[in-house]
């Protein structure tokens, strides 16, 4: 496989773990460790880090090293506002299309999320959460919208690391909200889908700030 392909594969893998909160803010990303873990060269790792830095997901320390970027309450507020604008717009496009295949794919992601939570695979559940929102954007078919979203998609959910019960409550609430959005899409109830999405994003903002 070509070096640029390996770099892109590496970028996607690390990005997925950051967005699903398996790599939290402040964690150092060690080149040699990731090169060994993903069986790629350190050149591929460096290129992936540079790409992630361009999306503001990682940052380089003054004395060297690459770190997952920490987000402040102000960052969280701005991200939530931007995501609301983008995702509400995406929902509007999806309602105009009413594509049954897209609805089916969203339902499958919901099922995957539920299954991961039931099995206690919370990292996998977080990845399914990210996929759910990405699928809404990707399904619009608008490449510019996808690009803007990818550059702003920092996770707002599942940042609380409390006891197992509160953790489960958070996941169950997310599962319910996702399914409510899909059900509204099936019924053609645009208002319900938007209200649920905004509630979903607002809750993510509140919980992230509390954490």
DSSP 148-187: HHHTT----SS-----HHHHHHHHHHHHHHHHHHHHHHHH
Residue 168: CB atoms within 10 A of its CB come to: 15
* Ranges of each domain in the chain: 4-66, 71-208
Contacts of 142 (CB under 8 A, 6+ apart): 90, 93
Give the pLDDT score at 66: 95
Q: Model-level pTM greater than 0.85? A: no
| Token couple for 80 | 């939530």
What CATH class is the domain 4-66?
mainly alpha
Same fold, 4-66 and 71-208: no
Q: What is the pLDDT of residues 105-143, one digit of tens each?
A: 999 999 999 999 899 888 788 889 889 999 999 999 999
Residue that wins the pLDDT comparison between 4 and 193: 193
CATH number of the domain at 71-208, please?
Answer: 1.20.120.530
Residue 3: pLDDT above 90? Answer: no
């Amino acid at each position: 496989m070509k070096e640029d392909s390996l770099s892109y594969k590496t970028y996607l893998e690390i990005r997925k773990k950051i967005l699903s909160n398996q790599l939290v803010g402040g964690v150092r990303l060690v080149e040699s460790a990731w090169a060994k873990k993903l069986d790629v060269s350190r050149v591929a790792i460096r290129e992936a880090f540079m790409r992630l830095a361009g999306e503001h997901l990682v940052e380089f320390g003054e004395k060297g090293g690459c770190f997952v970027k920490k987000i402040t309450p102000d960052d969280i507020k701005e991200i939530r506002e931007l995501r609301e604008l983008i995702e509400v717009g995406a929902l509007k496009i999806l309602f105009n299309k009413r594509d049954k295949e897209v609805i089916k794919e969203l339902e499958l992601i919901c099922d995957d999320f539920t299954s991961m939570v039931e099995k206690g695979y919370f990292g996998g559940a977080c990845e399914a959460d990210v996929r759910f929102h990405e699928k809404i954007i990707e399904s619009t078919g608008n490449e510019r919208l996808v690009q803007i979203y990818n550059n702003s998609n920092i996770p707002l959910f599942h940042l609380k690391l409390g006891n197992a019960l509160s953790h489960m409550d958070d996941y169950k609430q997310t599962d319910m909200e996702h399914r409510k959005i899909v059900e509204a899409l099936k019924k053609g109830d645009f208002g319900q889908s938007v209200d649920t999405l905004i509630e979903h994003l607002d809750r993510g903002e509140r919980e992230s700030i509390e954490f």
